[in-house]
Structure 1
Amino acid sequence: MEHKRAMLCWITRKSNKNPVDQQLEEQMRKTIQYYFEVLKRVVAVVKFLSERGLAFRGHEEKWGSPNNRNFMGAIELIAEFDPFLHEHLKKCKNEKVNATYLPKHVYEELIEIMGKHVQDEIVNQINKLDTTYDSIIVDA
């Protein structure tokens, strides 16, 4: 019953938008778009490094360090020419940002998601073939 009341309240507020609701909705839309843009750049770097089998991390993982490896180095290189990413990195250094999408656990999860997608695509392609396989050998 409480769930129905909350849903009815939400529907009523949605149809009777006041200026505060409109501002919050616009702010939420801008925030979603902002982080989508960050994520697009991070995914591009993860995809680039993964396709080439390059290492992501190095001995030191600090922004601006000459000892950074490929992931941080690529993000910093793109930021030199991409004003949006440059500003995001500056925010990450100077402020508390809710989601940077730059720590290792994020790109490790992206690698896992991409790997699962590749695996599913391989299985789908094999299943489309009319031949029967007893085994498949893959060299990694």
Structure 2
Amino acid sequence: MRFKMRQLAVAFILITSICVLSACDKSNNKGDKKIQVSNSKLLEFFENEIPDAEILLAKEEDLNGDGLKDIVVIYTRYNNNEMVVAINNEKDEFKLSNSHKAPIENQSIQFKDIDDKDPIEFIISGSKNGAVGYGIYRLENDKVIDLFGEDMNDCC
């Protein structure tokens, strides 16, 4: 019982954080580009690895705590939207994480250190035909781990 209460409390905090971040993101996103990355080599790597992908949104942040910026990419390919992390492991040594389904419309990528320790978490949100969903992820051992989500299947 105590464990379930703790899980509910953590879920409530996460949902509240997402709502606050969504409000901030909408107010600060006016005029922003869909591709917000400075490492063009890492972005080129993604484009070479998945040449038939159309990038819908890309943002960078150090997702594995190594001091190098990685890129979260939401893209469409074969009429499916997916999300992957292009990982910058060392000087010009790149790899892609596993992919996950991504929202069809109104995609958003936000970074938030939810547990105050590395690695940082990231939040993918969006919609499909009015159904809104989000997922909270973390990059561990070069794999995207799904930590928590709400209605993500409805928006992908």
Q: TM-score, normalised by structure 1?
A: 0.29
Higher relative strand content: 2
Higher helix share: 1
Is the radius of gyration larger for structure 1 or structure 2?
Answer: 1
1 or 2 for the larger relative contact order (CA 8 Å, sep ≥6)?
A: 1
